[in-house]
Structure 1
Amino acid sequence: MVNAKPATQQIVEIKEIKDDIVYLKGGGLRAVIMVSGVNFDLKSEEEQNILLYGYQSFLNSLDYSFQIVVHSRKLNIDGYLEMLRQRELQEQNELLKAQVAEYVEFVSSFVQMNAIMSKTFYAVVPYDVIQVGSKTIAGLGSLMEGGSRAPVATTKEEDETVKITQLEQRVEQVLGGIRRMGLRAVRLNAQELIELYYNLYNPEEKERTLAIAKDMTT
């Protein structure tokens, strides 16, 4: 008997997505920021140095790690080609109609012969609670506190609020650091997060374009 493949939900570590936050099964939280790209090679040496020093300063200002993700995917131009075909059908001038048809054929053939990749850049901001024995530690700073105080009882809702507050503070810090380098940075909302993870875990299907991506390229 052939073993059934596990469902995607069993493989991924995501518990749920709500309020612009990714909740992991292990209790961690994640926020995702889309960042505009920059052609570093086209910058002057002075501009390159400014970017490098700005990035170094940004990293040195953080007391936690965050993840940089480059999502590369073959460019999907089906929507663009369909728009051109509709334009061809509506065109009254026969010469222009023929030119549009030739252009559609050229673009379609070119993309088939050449793998044109699109790249999207993301910064993933984490917040994880560290478990040490029976104690829950919110960060390394807690290790410096004295151990003589009695533990304070907190509810699950209070713990969740603290975690969210800490994550939001980190998000603002990362957003500010990226923007100070002259890059555009926008946090993904819940719907955009769902579409992003759908694309990542279903690479064989037609990609769902994030609405926010259009704003980042204009």
Structure 2
Amino acid sequence: MKFPSTQTFINIDNIRNDIIILKGGKMRAILKVSSTNLALKSQEEQEATVFSYQNFLNALDFPIQILVSSRFMNLDNYVKNLQNLVDKQPTELMQMQTQEYINFIEEFLSQAHIITTDFYVVIPFELIDIEVDEGGGGERLKSLLGKQSELGSLEPEKFLSYKKQITQRAEFVASNLHRIGLEAKLLTTEELISLFWSLYNPEDLRKRGVIQSVFT
């Protein structure tokens, strides 16, 4: 018996030109946002930050989603790179110090896990067309695409038009977050694939070679 693939249960149809295409004619863009520590700010700075955030929310005329992703940080490559630098140190003393630092890092990692937290804002865009019924003159909402998979194969002109609109939303969000003191970056196709791979495969993050072909 052949079981359905995992992608059957995922609502993503395709990832194209930095845009997520969902099943059912919907698009998403994702901004990765920096963080700030309110506890380290003065009372006046905290109030100003909260006020700016309120203004940001009030200025939105479309919904957004906020995603917080926490995961264990993998420092294997960092330790490996340090190990490669040991023999390249100009003096024996520096070689010993580098090795001692590596031993310290490995000992620390054996006793504790380092967790990294990333923050994202999901920007939605739905292709909805208002069509007037010929009979009663009423309006009904109709998806521009009849089949779920057609959006991923749109001709370049239409796709670029839709992408421009969702990108404008992303730029609007990024500029307002900048006023709060937060930096926002639109994720690329490769970064989006890597993000979803890490979300759906939290225990298998080292298989980076598979990432390239997940949505092909």
Distance in 2 (alpha carbons) for counterparts of 1:100 and 1:204? 30
Q: Judging changes above 3 Å, is the alpha-carbon distance between structure 1 residues 23 and 148 closer, same or farther for their aligned structure 2 residues?
A: same
Check if 1:200 corresponds to 2:199: yes
Q: Tell whether the 8 Å contact from 2:130 to 2:139 is kept in structure 1 after alignment.
A: no
Aligned-residue offset at 1:164: 3.5
SS in 2 for 1:90: coil
Query: Which of 12, 15, 18 is matched with 1:14 structurally?
Result: 12
Give identity over the alignment, percent: 38
Partner AA of 2:56 in structure 1 = F
Task: Summarize the Cα distance change of 1:99–1:164 in structure 2 as closer, same or farther, 3 Å threshold.
Answer: closer
Deviation string 1:2-60 (CA, Å, 9 cap, x unpaired) is x7664221121111111211000121100000111111110111111111001100001
- Offset at 1:163? 4.2
Structure 1, unmatched stretches of 5+, are: 131-135, 139-146, 210-218
* Matching residue within 124, 127, 149 for 2:125: 127
**Deviations 1:68-121, CA, capped at 9 Å, x for gaps:** 111111111112111211111222422222222121111111122111101111
Distance change >3 Å, CA 117–CA 207, structure 1 → 2: farther
Q: RMSD value over aligned CA atoms?
A: 3.0
1:86 lines up with 2:88 in the alignment: no
Give the corresponding residue for 2:56: 58
State TM-score, norm by structure 1.
0.77
Q: Does 1:29 align with 2:27?
A: yes
1:107-186 maps to which residues of 2 (within 5 A)? 107-129=105-127, 136-137=129-130, 163-186=162-185
Q: Any idea what SS the aligned residue of 2:108 has?
A: helix
For the Cα contact (< 8 Å) 2:32–2:184, is it kept in 1?
yes
Please give the secondary structure, in 2, of the residue aligned with 1:205.
Answer: coil
With over 3 angstroms needed to count, the CA separation of the structure-2 counterparts of 1:61 and 1:4, relative to structure 1, is same
Q: How many positions carry a matched residue from both structures?
A: 193
The whole-number CA distance in structure 1 between the counterparts of 2:188 and 2:56 is 24
> In the aligned structure 1, how far is the partner of 2:70 from the partner of 2:110?
17
Q: Which whole-Å deviations, capped at 9, do the CAs of 1:109-156 have from their partners, x for residues lacking one?
A: 1122111101111111011246xxxxx449xxxxxxxx95899xxx86
Q: Alpha-carbon deviations, 1:167-200, whole Å to 9, x = none? A: 2332122112111212111111222212222222
Match of 2:38 in 1: 40
